[in-house]
Amino acid sequence: MKQLRYFLFFLFFLLQYFSYAQKTLRVDSTGNILPSKNIASIKDSAIKKYNPAIAIRRSAMVPGWGQYTNKKYWKIPIVYGALGTTAYLFFRNLRQYKDAKNAYALATDGDTSNDYLIKQPYYTVRSQPDRIRSFRNSVRQNVDYCVLFFIIFYGLNVADAAVDAHLKTFDVSDDLSLELKPGHSDMANTNGLSLVLHIGK
């Protein structure tokens, strides 16, 4: 459980980083990005609409809300499928653990008059309490795994919403291009092909 605490601690600070890492882009009147103080903030409706900080907060509060905000509706059933499956397995394993724990206690108390309280399938192996104990320990481990996977899937739900929101506002200009060109290398004094990336004008 110590590893689980460390993971939760790491996840908390990761969410805080994504929430507060969003900066306001400031530009001058000609559209050039400037680091000075006396400039106007961009108030772009698309950036506001797909704000990663909002998507992160919403996904952290309600799973799938960030995907809904980003208009990625097809991901919502995946989010709930993953979280619902782990939650179902958690409660099933927890119930089995409680039954096995109770069966082991009744099988090892030395009193055969209360053996009728032992549930199946443990009743048939009540004379072999070591088997019940081994199953109990195995199911207890499965409960821990379910909690861990639930937290991982919850974190992935938040991370996915953040990445989608970032990509929604990521603008690839027409001035960006990657092409293969024939050319001459003066340094090697040879002709060949070059991979050229044009950025801007």
Q: For residue 172, count other CB atoms closer than 10 A to its CB.
A: 6
Measured between alpha carbons, how far is residue 149 from residues 8, 14, 67, 87 in Å?
12, 17, 20, 9
DSSP conformational letter for 154: H
pLDDT score for 13? 55
CA 8 to chain centre: 12
Give per-residue pLDDT as tens, 101-148. 888 888 887 777 777 777 788 777 777 888 888 888 999 999 999 999
For 106-126, give the DSSP string. HHTSS-GGGGGGSPTTTGGGT
Q: Give the 3-state secondary structure of residue 1.
A: coil
pLDDT score for 104? 85
Measured between alpha carbons, how far is residue 124 from residues 56, 76, 106, 116, 164 in Å?
51, 44, 13, 11, 53
Give per-residue pLDDT as tens, 29-59. 565 655 544 444 444 454 456 678 888 888 8
Measured between alpha carbons, how far is residue 184 from residues 180, 187, 199 in Å?
13, 9, 21
Give per-residue pLDDT as tens, 53-111. 888 888 889 998 888 888 888 999 999 999 999 999 999 999 999 988 888 888 887 77
pLDDT score for 23? 47
Q: Global pTM?
A: 0.58
Every domain of the chain and the residues it spans:
2-170
pLDDT score for 11? 55
pLDDT score for 34? 57
Checking if the pLDDT of 174 tops 60, the result is no
pLDDT score for 22? 46
pLDDT score for 180? 72
The secondary element (H helix, E strand) that includes residue 74 is none
Q: List alpha helices for the chain, DSSP H.
A: 2-20, 45-49, 52-61, 65-69, 76-107, 129-168
